[in-house]
Structure 1
Amino acid sequence: MCCLNIAGEWFNVDPEAVISQALQTGGGPNVSDAYTINGLPGPLYNCSAKDTFKLKVKPDKTYMLRLINTALNDELFFSIANHSVTIVDVDAVYVKPFDTETLLITPGQTTNVLLKTKPYSPNATFFMTARPYATGQGTFDNSTVAAILEYESPKTIHSSQLSLKNLPLFKPTLPPLNDTAFAANFTSKLRSLASAQFPAKVPQKVDMRFFFTVGLGTNPCPRNQTCQGPNGTKFAASVNNVSFSSPTTALLQAHFFGKSNGVYIPDFPITPIFPFNYTGNPPNNTMVSTGTRLVVMPFNTSVELIMQDTSILGVESHPLHLHGYNFFVIGQGFRNFDPNKDPAKFNLVDPVERNTVGVPSGGWAAIRFQADNPGVWFMHCHLEVHTSWGLEMAWVVLDGKLPNQKLIPPPADLPKC
């Protein structure tokens, strides 16, 4: 088994300085200088040929590759030239296997694939490449990172005779940068095993239903500050028009000790505050509110959540990640979610189970989960820039009645802030 971080991002400056500058100006952060595979930028960047990850394989073998997107702000296409892979697992949960030449993976997601090597040892090397799937209007690192899949040299040929200079080099063809059709087709193939050994425990009844809009917006520019947002505003992002404000006291601490007053308000809107045509012409008012507002739920509540992308400042794919839980992706679609027609298409038999889902650009995603893990749990966009702009919220799941259904106290040696 080999673990591939596809891809990290390389900044030629302190990344903390990058985000600090972005927050001060209210604009997007400077993009990375390169992507990396297992920490190495590879031969497609200037002066980086020596810093190339090589995966050596033998002919007629099956290898498991664990793929992880550790980039900060980009969903990525990934492919291996002249090879297909079999996807068997996403986010540490088995799926019905299927073959593909290219896969899509969002920041924070993991995918396990089986790579079957050729039955002979070809005198060639093969690029493994990744580049962004980009749907937004902002800037992004529009470059391609490469590593090399290299068959071990035949014993009859000295290894010094085999190099990139004298071997054919095959490069994969990746989808166009904004190929949303590929993204939708790929994600539609992901299905849970739903077998006796690995059942898909999809909640069949729903106790609480939520409808969240997710997208970009603006905030007023602070005094004595020049901001880079539209019309001199500051970029913001929100869930149901609420841009999350981080408190100075930890949310879990405030909840556990019953001292939430002044830290958070348990009144997060369960539906949009201002309904509009979410994927049509955007409203003139792009301003969002700011606050620390949470959803509070009883233990073991079965939840259905619809997440709807919005067209404010442009439609865009948002990889939403939920802490503390796996969930089932029971449906996805484009345009506005139709509560009268779309639920009839929900997959309640074998939907994929994971902890991060890409809300489609100009579309929606529906998930279900059982809130049986007490505590305070963040849900946020896995594009780091959107999280820094406030595209996040939190769920408070109350204790159950039994001892093993209660939030355990902090350890006695927990350092005080």
Structure 2
Amino acid sequence: MIDPKWLRTDPDRIRRSQAARGESVGLVDELVTADSARRTHIAAFEGLRAEQKTIGKSVAKASGDEKAHLLAQTKQLSVDVKAAQAAADEADSRFNELMLQVGNLVLDGVPEGGEDDGVVLETIGSPRDFAAEGFEPRDHLELGEALGAIDMERGAKISGSRFYVLTGVGALLELALLNLAITKATEWGFTPMIPPALVKPSAMEGTGFLGQAAQDVYHLPAEDLYLVGTSEVALAAYHSGEILDAETLPRQYVAYSPCFRKEAGSYGKDTRGIFRVHWFDKVEMFVHCRPEDAEAWHERLLGFEKEFLQALEIPFQVLDVAAGDLGLSAARKYDCYAWLPTQQRYREVTSTSNCTQFQARRLGIRYRGDAGTEPVATLNGTLCAMTRIIIMLLENHQQADGSVSVPEALRPWLGGRETLVPLA
């Protein structure tokens, strides 16, 4: 959540951020009122409690009528204290309820607008001219089925629509991508992790996925656990409630995990193949660092994502995501969009977000420095969302005969093979 002090010192800053996100500005006024009420009720409770303690000490020394009078006072104070505590608790609960609805403060320089208003920062690589090569590119599903790599029909039979099975070279391709991604991340200083894909409500709420994103989350009511849509949730909550030594920062983690998303609101979109599915595997980077280092780490995570895509020889663009398209926790986000030949456009394959101290404040993750303790900053970055990267590899590296060239960086993890060949 945001720092409550901004409500008292610069509420207009929060209003500007809410407006940039396209969210309620009136919520800030409600919060200012709720904060004032909360502090008033807490002060009243503490005053009565102090008076109760003072009279309690006097009772032990008093006698006769004075003692009877003091005892009568203590009885009334006990009632008043209980009522004041209830009022303070109610005001605090209302304040926290409203605070959880406010998005992170958008950083200066983030583009204005919504989903279609992201700014292209750079274009890396050039799309192939298939017409010049003399053939029409096939889409990833046609290629994947010919290679014996993707089975949508049996995926739907097992689990329903938007599920799939990777078979043969499809499964080997994911494992190759996993090995390449983890190897690179380890070289960059990340600690590999395999965290749970089921998390408690506190972890999901703490990372900001039970607000505007709740409709996209799978919930198991009997156990009150959630299936994660990204291992960012587990990696953020890994240090929840902890105080980290400043000398141990940054903490860099990279996780491989299944991810589950309802894809609410996507009816009719990307229904063919494995671009938009309910389950996929992903390699995710996560950083806990000092707040002053967060922006530099954001650029670094973007650099890692770019290096990975370049190693796979996939053309892509980098977008600075507009404020209205940011998730609740992100103060700034960069997306990488890879070229999809059969759609003749760039599609999202990675993202990296600077969440500043927003998630850490909700999860109680602090670090101890020279000036005491304060929340760390957290950042996340997708290194490899398997299904989308497999799509880009198949379509961008396909040949006229239906085979697919393997980028040199992946060959060591595929037994040295240079080409994936269609089944006979």
| TM superposition score normalised by structure 1 | 0.22
TM-score by length of 2: 0.22
Larger RCO (alpha carbons 8 Å, 6+ apart): 2
Higher helix share: 2
Structure with greater strand share of residues: 1
